[in-house]
Structure 1
């Protein structure tokens, strides 16, 4: 049983977290690629799931340095981000690694167009926001 003042305290924390959510994002799961036998090319298929579009806070995790890995015969640097969306956000399916977060709008114009790949998400009944871990693979 929680103390009567705890729910009020939690509501204030969630409201404060939402004030920091200044980016607009779209979270979706890519569908399988489609191979065109005539042209011999592969194109991305339609999204398999559309999870969320709305406000969020997108911030790099300072403690995580860019890890360099090889992908597709080229070096890429992985940078970890934490994305916070309103705690009350309703998502009908569990967000799985491999989902994509696109930053659609931000007061920081350098973030617009940023594509992040989900590595995990956190659930907690006493959290101030729903948090998603993702990485920039550029």
Structure 2
């Protein structure tokens, strides 16, 4: 093992030690109409990229307000970090902007249940973790 490989292995172990949240990262399917309730509900995911530990943290301290339809929406940017060893699904599909990350558990109870929309992905052979840029559109 080279010095670089040893440093990366140590860095990847440290990055994983900071992952205290749990997420599900997926491509959403088409919404479905529930005739019983009369509401539109999310359909099953088309592709699940990852389920497991992660680190979710605010990437920008400033929020931005935008108009969506006739409603004002506040966007908060987050960085979601998942283990570097995470592979692609069997289909070989790569994540893309518009995919979704649901925070399913967190030591911070205010973060659990947050839905984030992927806006960018970072790839690098010398990264210590896979970093995904996402936004909360609440």
Per-residue CA deviation, residues 83-122 of structure 1 (Å, 9 max, x unaligned), is: 0000001122211111111111111111110110001111
Give the TM-score normalised by structure 2. 0.89
Structure 1 unaligned regions, length at least 5: none
TM-score, length-scaled by structure 1? 0.89
Residue 96 of structure 1 pairs with residue 96 of structure 2: yes
Deviations 1:24-61 (A, max 9, x none): 00011111223579x97543322111111000000101
Aligned pairs, number:
135
Q: 2:84 aligns with which of 73, 84, 87?
A: 87
Mind listing any 5+ residue stretches in structure 2 that lack a counterpart? Answer: none
Alignment counterpart, residue 61 of structure 1, candidates 48, 59, 62: 59
The whole-number CA distance in structure 2 between the counterparts of 1:110 and 1:34 is 28
Query: In the alignment, what sits opposite 2:128?
Result: 128
Partner of 1:106: 106
For residues 88 and 81 of structure 2, what CA distance do their matches in structure 1 show?
14
Residues 95 and 120 in structure 1, CA contact (< 8 A), matched pair in contact too: no
Equivalent residue number for residue 14 of structure 2:
16
Counterpart position of 1:26: 24
CA-atom RMSD, angstroms? Answer: 2.0
